[in-house]
Amino acid sequence: MGLWDRDVCEIFIAPDRAVVENYFEFEAAPTGEWLDVAIQWTPEKRDSDWNFNSHMTSAARVEQDRIIIGMRIPWGERIHQPQKGERWRVNLFRCVGKDPNRGYLAWQPTKLPKPGFHLPQVFGWLMFA
C-alpha cells in the first residue's frame, strides 16, 4: 500500500470497453514491489478491490542512467485473453522521485490540476493484432 507514493510504473487496463469504469491497476517499483487492484467507479465513489489477485509478477533492473521494469499479467477469469482485433482502454504512467520535485509521465495525460491517474475517460486504445 502506498506504492504509488514512490518511484513506480503503472498500467491501467479496462478490458470491457463498454464499461470503462471497471478497470484494473497494476504497479511495479524498482525495488521489486508490486500491487494489483480491481477498480470500479460508481456515481458516488471509487471502490477498490484489494483482494483481487491477478497472479501478476514483475521484475526490475536499476542501471546508472535508467530503470527497466517489466510486468507479466496473465489472462484469467477477470482479464480474458483478447481476440485479434479486440480493443481495450489502457493508460500507462510513471511516477519519478519524491515531493517536492516529483515527476509524472503519462501516455494519455489526464490534464488535472493535481496529478491523478484514475480518469478512465482519457485512457487510450490498445488494439490486439
CATH of the domain at 14: 2.60.40.1190
Q: How far is CA 33 from CA 4, 55, 63, 77, in A?
A: 11, 14, 17, 24
Q: What is residue 50's predicted lDDT score, i.e. its pLDDT?
A: 95
Beta bridge partners of 87: 127
Beta bridge partners of 25: 12, 37
Helix (H, G, I), strand (E, B) or coil at 121: helix
Say how far apart CA 115 and CA 65 lie, in whole Å.
Answer: 25
For residue 35, what is its C-alpha cell? 500491487
Bond from prior residue into 100 cis (ω within 30 degrees of 0):
yes
Domain of 77 in residue numbering reads as 3-127
For residue 94, what is its C-alpha cell? 510513471
Are the beta carbons of 31 and 5 closer than 8 angstroms? Answer: no
Domain count, the chain: 1
For 65-106, the pLDDT digits (tens) are: 888 999 999 999 999 999 999 999 999 999 887 767 778 889
Classify the phi-psi angles of 55: left when phi > 0, otherwise alpha if psi is within -120 to 50, otherwise beta: left
For 18-77, the pLDDT digits (tens) are: 999 999 999 999 888 999 999 999 889 999 999 999 999 999 999 998 889 999 999 999
